[in-house]
Amino acid sequence: AAVDIMYRPAIHYSPKLGFMNDPNGLLHRDGLYHLYFQYDPDASLAGHVHWGHATSSDLYHWHDQPIAIDETPSGEAFTGSVVADPDNLSGLFKAGQTGMVAIYTRASAHSQTQWIATGLDGQTLTDAPGNPVLDLHSDSFRDPKVIFHAPSGQWVMVVALSRLHQIGFFTSPDLQHWTEASRFGPAGLLGIDYECPNLVELPVADGGSRWVLFVSINPGSPQGGSCTQYFVGDFDGRAFTADRPVAQIIDFAKDFYALQFYAGVEKPTAIAWMGNWQYCQEVPTHAWRGLMTLPREMSLAHDPIQGLRLAQQPAGLEALRGPRIAMDPGRIDAGSARQVALPEGQAIELSITFEIDNDPSGPAAGGKGRGGRFAIEFSNDQGEMLSIGVDALAQQAWLDRSRLRGFSQPFFTGQFSTPIAPRDRRARFRIILDACSVEVFTQDGMEVGTALIYPAAPLNLLRLHTSGSDAIVHAVELHPLAKTME
Ligand code: FRU
């Protein structure tokens, strides 16, 4: 169908056919990035979950690989992680061989247990003898993420005890024998189920590092449906302690879920599923459904108001930049606009720094007042528009997909906002638009909005539009991005 082609992302991973959700088994090994994922190859609805697989040498050019883990009579192959075992600590490899080990959930109607599977190059992952390796006789116990904790010389698993709203911490010397070390929660947003925990040590912008525990919930997000939250704190090899009991939500829109961090990389890098369980099985593609976010480099930075916050930037995107599309900086008078045509069939990246030239001290006699609105509008001649911008008086940024006509469904809500307090009065946005997706990074990556978008026709015009006050565009850079996916 035409929509299957029109909505196919140019630089984001999406499956050729079938239904995809969570990223799994993210591992960088021997120069190759592995991306496994929750996948039903035979239907574009969730169910009959296998592990799909793609590989890449740069996180953008992805090559599809055969299914790596099948659904079996023991159950579907739910979310999990993969680690490299270069020293054969697991004892699962023959002398002289090393490989990779997947730790994942087998799920059937009344049971969720943790299994391990091994592979030499990751093409297929074969269930090891002795599964399951972890069984709490529970039907809501899933999504193990394993890291090697060097200070204690053992593996650490975080796994969701979903309905109890707890994250279990288990340790193991060999990936086969697991001991419960602690539990975290209930804490933060509970929703119905906790899912897909991740534990990672992230660098802090001005030095040092902190541990961060990510917990996805579904349903129960304040924006509706599924979302991912995180706690900043400390981890001693056995237990995680949060600095504050309150969690922060990663994204101000609603299509960022189940993020997972790569193993085997220097800079912490994560990929999430771009979707929401409220409508992912109804989005208007037919033969395929589901896409991943761009790979994102993650760190922590100090927000003057909220304290330590996750800071995100797309990883290595610069390498895809094509020749700059001309757009001038300078003043845009209140009520006027500046526009440029966009290429079709390619993703584009816009980086812009602007200032709403109002009067922050308030409307003195004849003064300009504190108001003013700056809008970044992607539109077409069908009257559709995706709008992103800043309202100075409200001190908020918005993302508005409500004027796109390709998809409507009760939960596919259109308008999102986040408070922003631009430093030095300048707002900085980095926006990546790619077919059915938009990712908006602002406040140095501390506010990010990730949204599926379904225009009925391609968005081929970019307009910068001011109202209520003049604006000064200090810098603007617009690039098409080289297509990496067929
Ligand atoms: C999260 C999730 C996981 C589960 C998987 C099933 O999106 O519900 O908890 O393992 O998807 O596909």
Ligand 1 atom with least separation from CA of 162: 9
> Which pLDDT score is estimated for 363?
63
pLDDT at 226 over 80: yes
Q: What is the CA radius of gyration of the chain?
A: 23
What distance in angstroms lies between residue 195's CA and the mean position of ligand 1's atoms? 7
Mean pLDDT in residue range 395-412? 98
> Which pLDDT score is estimated for 408?
97
> In sequence order, what are the residues at sequence separation of 6 or more whose Cβ sits closer than 8 angstroms to the Cβ of residue 421?
304, 305, 395
Q: Ligand 1 pocket check: which of 196, 278, 279 to mutate, most ligand atoms within 8 Å of Cβ?
A: 196
7: which 2 tokens?
Answer: 């909505």
pLDDT at 245 over 90: no
pLDDT at 379 over 70: yes
Mean pLDDT in residue range 164-173? 98
What distance in angstroms lies between residue 355's CA and the mean position of ligand 1's atoms? 42
pLDDT at 247 over 70: yes
> Which pLDDT score is estimated for 145?
99
Task: Work out the percent of the chain whose per-residue pLDDT is above 70.
Answer: 99
3-state secondary structure 304-360: CCCEEEEEEEECCHHHHECCCECCCCEEECCCCEEEEECCCCCEEEEEEEEEECCCC
Residue 154, φ and ψ in degrees, nearest 5:
-140, 170
What distance in angstroms lies between residue 78's CA and the mean position of ligand 1's atoms? 6
- As a whole number of angstroms, the distance between CA 326 and CA 319 comes to 19
What does pLDDT average to over the chain? Answer: 96
Q: Ligand 1 pocket check: which of 24, 69, 79 to mutate, most ligand atoms within 8 Å of Cβ?
A: 79
> Which pLDDT score is estimated for 90?
97
What distance in angstroms lies between residue 22's CA and the mean position of ligand 1's atoms? 7
Q: DSSP class of residue 87?
A: T
Strand, coil or helix: what is 4? helix
> In sequence order, what are the residues at sequence separation of 6 or more whose Cβ sits closer than 8 angstroms to the Cβ of residue 54?
13, 34, 35, 37, 62, 63, 64, 65
Query: Is the minimum distance from the CB of 196 to ligand 1 under 6 angstroms?
Result: yes
> Which pLDDT score is estimated for 304?
80
Query: Is the minimum distance from the CB of 248 to ligand 1 under 6 angstroms?
Result: no
> Which pLDDT score is estimated for 365?
58
pLDDT at 15 over 80: yes
Ligand 1 atom with least separation from CA of 46: 12
Query: Is the minimum distance from the CB of 143 to ligand 1 under 6 angstroms?
Result: yes
Query: Is the minimum distance from the CB of 349 to ligand 1 under 6 angstroms?
Result: no
83: which 2 tokens?
Answer: 């680690």
Ligand 1 atom with least separation from CA of 105: 10
Mean pLDDT in residue range 13-30? 98
Task: Work out the percent of the chain whose per-residue pLDDT is above 90.
Answer: 94
pLDDT at 423 over 80: no
> Which pLDDT score is estimated for 357?
92
Q: Ligand 1 pocket check: which of 38, 39, 50, 217 to mutate, most ligand atoms within 8 Å of Cβ?
A: 38
The per-residue b/e assignment along 75-102, b for 16 or more CB within 10 angstroms, e otherwise, is bbbbbbbbbbbeeebbebbeeeebbbbb
Catalytic residues: 22, 195
> Which pLDDT score is estimated for 254?
98
List pLDDT tens digits, range 33-62. Answer: 999 999 999 999 999 999 999 999 999 999
> In sequence order, what are the residues at sequence separation of 6 or more whose Cβ sits closer than 8 angstroms to the Cβ of residue 171?
149, 152, 154, 155, 156, 157, 178, 179, 181, 237, 238
pLDDT at 230 over 80: yes
Query: Is the minimum distance from the CB of 40 to ligand 1 under 6 angstroms?
Result: no
Query: Is the minimum distance from the CB of 38 to ligand 1 under 6 angstroms?
Result: yes
Among residues 404, 408, 452, 441, which one has the least CA distance to residue 276? 452
> In sequence order, what are the residues at sequence separation of 6 or more whose Cβ sits closer than 8 angstroms to the Cβ of residue 261?
26, 145, 198, 200, 268, 269, 270, 298
> Which pLDDT score is estimated for 416?
98
Query: Is the minimum distance from the CB of 161 to ligand 1 under 6 angstroms?
Result: no
pLDDT at 362 over 80: no
Among residues 1, 2, 3, which one has the least CA distance to residue 407? 3
> Which pLDDT score is estimated for 458?
97
pLDDT at 364 over 70: no
Ligand 1 atom with least separation from CA of 22: 7
What distance in angstroms lies between residue 274's CA and the mean position of ligand 1's atoms? 13
> Which pLDDT score is estimated for 415?
98
pLDDT band at 1 (very low <50, low <70, confident <90, very high): confident
List pLDDT tens digits, range 289-318. Answer: 999 999 999 999 998 878 899 999 999 999
> Which pLDDT score is estimated for 437?
98
pLDDT at 367 over 80: no
What distance in angstroms lies between residue 35's CA and the mean position of ligand 1's atoms? 16
Q: Ligand 1 pocket check: which of 19, 20, 22, 36 to mutate, most ligand atoms within 8 Å of Cβ?
A: 22
The complex scores an ipTM of 0.98
pTM of the model: 0.97
Query: Is the minimum distance from the CB of 195 to ligand 1 under 6 angstroms?
Result: yes
251: which 2 tokens?
Answer: 């994204």
